[in-house]
Amino acid sequence: MVLKGSVTLPGDKSLSHRAIMLASLSSDKSVIENLSSGQDVISTRDCLAKCGMDWSQDGEQINIKGRHFISPATPLDCGNSGTTVRLLSGLIAGERINATFTGDQSLSSRPMDRVVSPLQKMNAKISSTDGKLPVIIQASDLHSIEYTMPVASAQVKSAIMLAGIHAVGETIIHETVPTRDHTEILLSALGYPITTNGQRIAIKGSDTRHPGFHFHVPADPSSAAFFATGAAIIHDSEVIFKNMLINPTRFGFFRSLGMLGAQVDILDHWTELHESVADIRIKSGQLHAVHIAKEDVPALIDELPLIAILATQAEGTTTVEGAGELRVKESDRLHAICINLERMGAQVTEHTDGFSISGPTSLTGIHVQTFHDHRIAMAFTIAGLIADGETTLDDSDCIAISFPEFHNVLNYLTLN
Ligand code: S3P
């Protein structure tokens, strides 16, 4: 079996969330095409609809018209989506309405104080429940802060920026390690007074509202990464991803893939609302171990399960460090990666903030424990392609959280 073909994948999840959120702030009509169809993005859309946003689906595109925000009559259910609850906490705090955020079992166990604490400093009346959901917001007027990020988190950074849009004064954020910068890019493309200087971001609060916009969301590199991994580990594979987001803060996986020894070619590139986009081609290659250091982690945080799978097929010992944040994702991903790979026969050692994996080793099919985590489910489906015997998942429904089309695309690329 090989992976072969050219695909245009659904829109990037991070950009899809942000596009809907920013569209909700304008009273003009915005048109978004190629929106992610994942359940997480539906959660964002439905939460904002409860706060007054009008939307309609028109074939492949969604039309959005913001209205004055209203306090939702019932709690905002963010489902499984950390991006929904954290970014909307900032946005809604700035809109002076009352709201309660809830979520599923996984989201309800994830830390929320990282976002509650800076928003409180901005005078938001916001509280968590022992650091977790439910998070409750009551209307208040915000002022700016200067804030140094204690964790490398684009969700927290974005929440502060979105709250800063209407806060009095200039909100300044210092990042110690750069994280995905989509919020900065979109705000700047829409004309907001935001400046970035190295790892310092500043946004001036104002009452202005931006005009409606048109955005074709580039394909999700985090979704492409599953098939890119398959293409890298299965000899003679060659896959082209068209119209894919290649923002450098998201391209870490593809940079590492090249360092591991797969062939990664950018065929053509352009921009879409200031985001870098390209057609890229991945070909299999002879793989050898890489080292992923703390500063590399944010640009491939969601792709680390795939780095682990690649490492099992690479010559030498691959090490990942500074990835403790993986323990507070949709599942404890470090544990989920290591326990499943070990059962498949890989040589893996779990560390507090990473792992080391020696290869190459052949893998054996297992019944994968997904912990209901979409990225674990998809990553181990790819590992199953090269395993001896059958690989099954204890939950494949969770894949719809980010990528309902995953199996269709995989079938297309393997049957081609
Ligand atoms: C995201 C940021 C990252 C990432 C998540 C999406 C975003 O989370 O893991 O999948 O869209 O801002 P953190 O901010 O917790 O690192």
Test site for ligand 1: of 83, 160, 184, 220, most ligand atoms within 8 A of the Cβ: 83
Phi then psi for 292, rounded to 5 degrees?
-110, 115
Residue whose CB lies within 8 A of the most ligand 1 atoms, among 301, 327, 373, for a mutation test: 301
DSSP assignment, residue 120?
Answer: H
- Report residue 67's pLDDT band, with 50, 70 and 90 as the boundaries: confident
Residue 34 lies in a domain: yes
Determine, yes or no, domain membership for 227.
yes
Q: What pLDDT, on a 0 to 100 scale, did the predictor assign at position 347?
A: 98
**70 C-alpha to center of ligand 1: Å?**
27
Answer yes or no: do 172 and 53 share one domain: yes
Q: What is the pLDDT of residue 193?
A: 96
Over residues 40-48, the mean pLDDT reads: 98
Query: Contact 345/309 with Cβ under 8 angstroms?
Result: no
Q: Are residues 251 and 386 in the same domain?
A: yes
Same domain, 259 and 408: yes
**Closest atom of ligand 1 to CA, residue 152:** 16
* Confidence (pLDDT) at 209: 86
Ligand 1 atom index nearest CA of 14: 11
Residues 222, 307: Cα–Cα separation, whole Å: 12
Write down the catalytic residue from 181, 220, 296, 302: 302
Give yes or no: residues 383 and 239 share one domain. yes
Task: Give the pairing of strands 316-320 and 291-292.
Answer: parallel
Name residue 309's amino acid.
Answer: I
pLDDT value of residue 60:
87
User: 3-class DSSP state for residue 406?
Assistant: helix
Domain end, chosen from 160, 180, 215, is at 215
> Mean pLDDT across the stretch 101-123?
98
Q: What value does the mean pLDDT take over residues 157-174? A: 98
Specify whether 302 is catalytic: yes
Which of 81, 153, 253 is the best mutation target for the ligand 1 pocket, counting ligand atoms within 8 Å of the beta carbon and taking the most? 153
Q: 384 in a domain, yes or no? A: yes
- Residue 207's pLDDT is 85
Domain finish residue from 215, 240, 262: 215
Distance of CA 83 from the midpoint of ligand 1 (Å): 6
As for ligand 1, residues whose beta carbon falls within 6 Å of it are: 14, 82-83, 153-155, 158, 180, 301-302, 325
Q: How remote is the CA of residue 7 from the centroid of ligand 1, in Å?
A: 25
**Once rounded to an integer, what is the mean pLDDT over residues 331-349?**
98
Together in a domain, 111 and 34: yes
CATH code of 354's domain? 3.65.10.10
* Residue 46 within a domain: yes
Atom of ligand 1 nearest to the CA of 87: 12
Q: What percentage of the chain exceeds 70 in pLDDT?
A: 100
Average pLDDT of the residues in 273-280: 98
Mean pLDDT of 371-395: 98
Atom nearest to 222 CA in ligand 1: 10
Is 343 part of any domain?
Answer: yes
- The answer as to whether 6 is a domain residue is no
Q: Are residues 253 and 115 in the same domain?
A: no
- Asked if 226 and 206 sit in the same domain, the reply is no
Boundary-marking domain end, from 170, 199, 215: 215
Both 132 and 224 in one domain: the answer is no
Q: What is the pLDDT of residue 208?
A: 80
Mean pLDDT, rounded, for 325-339: 98
**Ligand 1 atom showing the smallest separation from residue 13 Cα:** 11
User: Are 369 and 405 within 8 A, CB to CB?
Assistant: no
Distance from Cα 2 to the centre of ligand 1, integer Å: 31
Quote the mean pLDDT of the chain.
97
Q: Please report the beta strands in 246-328, taking only residues with DSSP state E, as ranges in sequence order.
A: 263-272, 275-283, 291-292, 316-320
- Distance from Cα 402 to the centre of ligand 1, integer Å: 13
Q: Whose CA is nearest to atom 11 of ligand 1?
A: 14
**Backbone torsions φ then ψ of 253, nearest 5 degrees:** -65, -45
Among protein residues, the one whose CA lies closest to atom 4 of ligand 1 = 302
- Looking at the structure, tell me whether residues 109 and 161 fall in a common domain: yes
Q: Quick one: CA dihedral 191, 197, 201, 204, positive or negative?
A: negative
Which residues constitute the domain of residue 128?
13-215
Q: Are residues 403 and 275 in the same domain?
A: yes
Is residue 400 scored above 90 in pLDDT?
yes
Residue 205 included in any domain: yes
pLDDT tens, 201-215? 999 999 888 999 999
Based on the fold, state whether residues 324 and 196 are members of the same structural domain: no
CA of 364 to the centre of ligand 1 (A): 32
- Distance, CA 154 to ligand 1 centroid (Å)? 6
Confidence of residue 416 (pLDDT cuts 50, 70, 90): low
Is residue 129 a part of any domain in this protein?
yes
Number of domains in the chain: 2
Q: Which of 12, 13, 14 to mutate to test the pocket of ligand 1 (most atoms within 8 A of CB)?
A: 14
- Letter for the amino acid at 95? E
Mark whether 191 and 241 lie in a shared domain.
Answer: no
Helix (H) or strand (E) holding 41: helix 39-50
- Say whether pTM exceeds 0.95: yes
